Chains A and B, each alone.
Chain A
Amino acid sequence: MAEVLIESSRLTRRFGGLVAVDAIDFAVNAGTIHGLIGPNGAGKTTLLNLIAAFYSPSEGTLRFRGEDITRHGPARRARAGIRRTFQNLKLFAEMTALQNASLGLHASNAAGVFDAIAGTPRHRREERAIADAAYDSLAFVGLGPYSDVVAGTLAYGHRRLLEIARAIVARPALLLLDEPAAGLNATEAADLSGLIRRIQAQGTTVVLVEHHMDVVMSVCDTITVLNYGRKLAEGTPSAIQENPEVIEAYLGHGQKPPPQEAHAVS
């Protein structure tokens, strides 16, 4: 049996009268790529935000590697190995790509104010290691040549990749990807699928919220379908594609999913 990495129990989040996530029991097996799909407003991103502690649950618990982390804040969860990207990119726009990626290693290092001022050996050793690891992460996502480019001036697709580089640089146990393919063209989306698999191969478990069905169906080991904040179905991509409830509720009128997102943001 596969080990469960993260597990929610009756996880609920209400916004006023709206129940965005409604008593969801959800488990992700270590080493897998787990897709979260559903129509707009189904609660996918809310669930992701609950796992990343950007929202606190109204009810229910979250366990990570068996430990109850329901009350841990986002920084603490990040340090424990839960990293994320954002649907609307959140980069450090004035920093270079390399500096952005280096922030992902902030929590794995220790040199502080005194080390920096005194220029201690620890500071120098860490700076070197941070630069190397950050560069490796950029190269891993294909941004090696852009390490000195200021993030705010990168092309949109590259900014998406940079966010992923920053999120994986510390080799997290769990990576939460919030619509990483949004605004990418077909080629870029196909590259993204390859990247997500390579991230999995490094030993990182991935939870993927995505509208782009090509990406979801091609990379996910398991898919959870949400609708109105509840779990509608769960299974392998092929099982999900054939599930009549899913087709009815999510895909609508017995049609195949649209091949890809129509909109492109520049």
Chain B
Amino acid sequence: MSAAPALSPRWSGQSRVAAFVFIAALLLFPVFITDQFTLHMMSLVAINAMVALGLQLLFGFSGQLSIGQAAFYGIGAYTSGLLTTKLGVPFPAAFLASAVVASAASLLMVPITRLSGIYLAVSTIGFSILVHLVLKNEEWLTGGTFGLIGIPRVSLFGYTLRNPVYSYFLCVGSALAVYAALVRLERSRFGRAINAIRQNEDAARSNGVAVTFLKSQCFMIAAFVAGLAGSLYAHQVRYLAPDDFTFWKSIEFLFMVVIGGVGSLFGAVLGAAFVVLLPEWLREIGDYRMLVFGALIVIVMLFGEAGLAGFLRTISRRFGRAFGRHAAGMRPPAATPGPSPSKQDSNG
């Protein structure tokens, strides 16, 4: 039964297949759905998912509750918008610069990583409000409430991506790359250490983990990813207004993470789809849509803390039990947490 010990659970055959199907579906999506608006919405889902993935690392893994991610998203968006419109910087450079500037801005968070829980959260809200006000009031730079207009389309290697299919692939591809990077991080020494910090900071410290440093790294990574997403957003909608980056947007990112399932990267993606798409689908019911949206959030939360990802896990487990019985002998012993047979041990 005991093979070589594994620090991270091995990918099961089912999850490999699921990942393959998911990626294939994303790639084939524009083949079947050519409606421009739908593709645009899917691109927005991918962009938002990137920010949510970063926040999942920050909150779901390292346990730092940030309600200020819109600030980094906005910094990235404006960096890219300004560099391309005012200085004529090519997109790839502006794309990277957005991430670098956003993560540099996150260094302002280093002193507050010593705070925890609600105190940290309130400080990040403050930061989000601050950045929004700067975007709104520094008209010489950002255009103020008039916004930043005339942001060019993405152009790569001298070729402008006019077709929304290409920007769809750019956004989805970026989101997949971020996803893959964070999956690898989750299953590494770094990932275990930040999870350890969340679960017991004292214990992490007593094992030599540089807690403040790692927490700051998490802020930087989340901000880096949010900056990338901001840049994509700027070139996707090609018009930036400060009100896209209010503290409400920060709350939306938190919704994505919590609705999707705290601690689950895939959950962050599901959450992003939920938060971005649902209000659009509900547009037909007009003024009531936010009411229904709010109610749906409450309902999803009532299903349990594991969110959409947990819901999906339950379904797939049931499904697997019903249809995968013949393969049960092939499956390795479950590494997933569950009721464990350890209670029978001698215990005083």
Q: CB within 8 Å of B: which residues of A?
A: 52, 54, 73-76, 78-79, 83-84, 86, 90-96, 98-99, 102-104, 106-107, 109, 111-113, 115-117, 119, 123, 126-127, 130-132, 134-135, 144-150, 153-158, 166-167, 170, 183-185, 187-188, 264, 266
Contacts of B342 in A (CB 8 A): 146, 149, 153-155, 158
Q: List 19 A-B contacts (CB under 8 A).
A: A75-B205, A75-B211, A92-B196, A92-B200, A94-B195, A103-B192, A103-B196, A106-B189, A116-B190, A123-B189, A127-B188, A132-B5, A135-B5, A147-B2, A149-B340, A154-B340, A155-B345, A184-B348, A264-B347
Q: CB within 8 Å of A: which residues of B?
A: 2, 4-7, 181, 184-185, 187-193, 195-196, 199-200, 202-211, 217, 221, 333, 335, 337, 339-340, 342-343, 345-348
Query: How far does the Cβ of A189 sit from chain B's closest Cβ, in whole Å?
Result: 9
Across the interface, A79 reaches (CB within 8 A) one of B190, B208, B221, B346, namely B208
Across the interface, A106 reaches (CB within 8 A) one of B207, B333, B346, namely B207
Report Cα–Cα, A153/B340, bound state, in Å. 7
Across the interface, A98 reaches (CB within 8 A) one of B5, B211, B343, namely B5
Across the interface, A116 reaches (CB within 8 A) one of B185, B203, B339, B343, namely B185
Contacts of A107 in B (CB 8 A): 207-209
Given pairs A83-B207, A92-B195, A145-B2, 7 additional interface contacts (CB within 8 A): A90-B202, A94-B199, A107-B208, A147-B2, A148-B5, A154-B342, A264-B348
Report Cα–Cα, A131/B192, bound state, in Å. 12
Would B191 and A116 count as touching, CB distance under 8 A? yes
Contacts of B339 in A (CB 8 A): 153
Please name the residue on chain A nearest to B204 by beta carbon. A103
Across the interface, B335 reaches (CB within 8 A) one of A96, A117, A127, namely A96
State whether A106 and B347 are in contact (beta carbons under 8 Å apart), knowing that A111-B189, A134-B5 are contacts in the complex.
no
Would A188 and B346 count as touching, CB distance under 8 A? yes
Would A166 and B190 count as touching, CB distance under 8 A? no
Would A119 and B184 count as touching, CB distance under 8 A? yes
Report Cα–Cα, A16/B188, bound state, in Å. 43
* B187, B202, B339, most chain A CB atoms within 10 A: B202
Would A86 and B196 count as touching, CB distance under 8 A? no
Report Cα–Cα, A111/B188, bound state, in Å. 9
State whether A158 and B345 are in contact (beta carbons under 8 Å apart), knowing that A95-B199, A107-B208 are contacts in the complex.
yes
Contacts of A185 in B (CB 8 A): 346-348
Contacts of A170 in B (CB 8 A): 208
Query: How far does the Cβ of A151 sit from chain B's closest Cβ, in whole Å?
Result: 9
State whether A52 and B206 are in contact (beta carbons under 8 Å apart), knowing that A91-B200, A92-B200, A99-B192 are contacts in the complex.
yes
Contacts of B335 in A (CB 8 A): 96, 148
Contacts of B192 in A (CB 8 A): 95, 99, 102-103, 106
Would B348 and A188 count as touching, CB distance under 8 A? yes
Please name the residue on chain A nearest to B202 by beta carbon. A90
Would B343 and A78 count as touching, CB distance under 8 A? no
Query: How far does the Cβ of B260 sit from chain A's closest Cβ, in whole Å?
Result: 18
User: Which 8 pairs between the two chains have the least Cβ-Cβ distance?
Assistant: A107-B208, A185-B348, A116-B188, A78-B208, A264-B348, A90-B203, A135-B5, A155-B345
Contacts of B204 in A (CB 8 A): 92, 103
Contacts of A134 in B (CB 8 A): 5, 7
Would A150 and B348 count as touching, CB distance under 8 A? no
Would A90 and B200 count as touching, CB distance under 8 A? yes
State whether A155 and B188 are in contact (beta carbons under 8 Å apart), knowing that A78-B206, A130-B7, A131-B6 are contacts in the complex.
no
Report Cα–Cα, A83/B205, bound state, in Å. 10
Report Cα–Cα, A150/B190, bound state, in Å. 19
Would A112 and B340 count as touching, CB distance under 8 A? no
Across the interface, B347 reaches (CB within 8 A) one of A83, A95, A119, A155, namely A155
Report Cα–Cα, A86/B340, bound state, in Å. 24
Please name the residue on chain A nearest to B208 by beta carbon. A107
Report Cα–Cα, A188/B347, bound state, in Å. 8
Would B202 and A54 count as touching, CB distance under 8 A? yes
Would A131 and B345 count as touching, CB distance under 8 A? no
Contacts of A119 in B (CB 8 A): 184
Query: How far does the Cβ of B167 sit from chain A's closest Cβ, in whole Å?
Result: 25
Would B347 and A113 count as touching, CB distance under 8 A? no
Would A93 and B199 count as touching, CB distance under 8 A? yes
Please name the residue on chain B nearest to A76 by beta carbon. B208
Would B4 and A113 count as touching, CB distance under 8 A? no
Report Cα–Cα, A116/B189, bound state, in Å. 8
Contacts of A74 in B (CB 8 A): 202, 205-206
Contacts of A264 in B (CB 8 A): 347-348
Query: How far does the Cβ of A45 sit from chain B's closest Cβ, in whole Å?
Result: 14
Contacts of A130 in B (CB 8 A): 7, 189
Please name the residue on chain A nearest to B3 by beta carbon. A148
Contacts of B346 in A (CB 8 A): 157, 185, 187-188
Please name the residue on chain B nearest to A148 by beta carbon. B335
Contacts of B191 in A (CB 8 A): 116
Contacts of B193 in A (CB 8 A): 103, 106
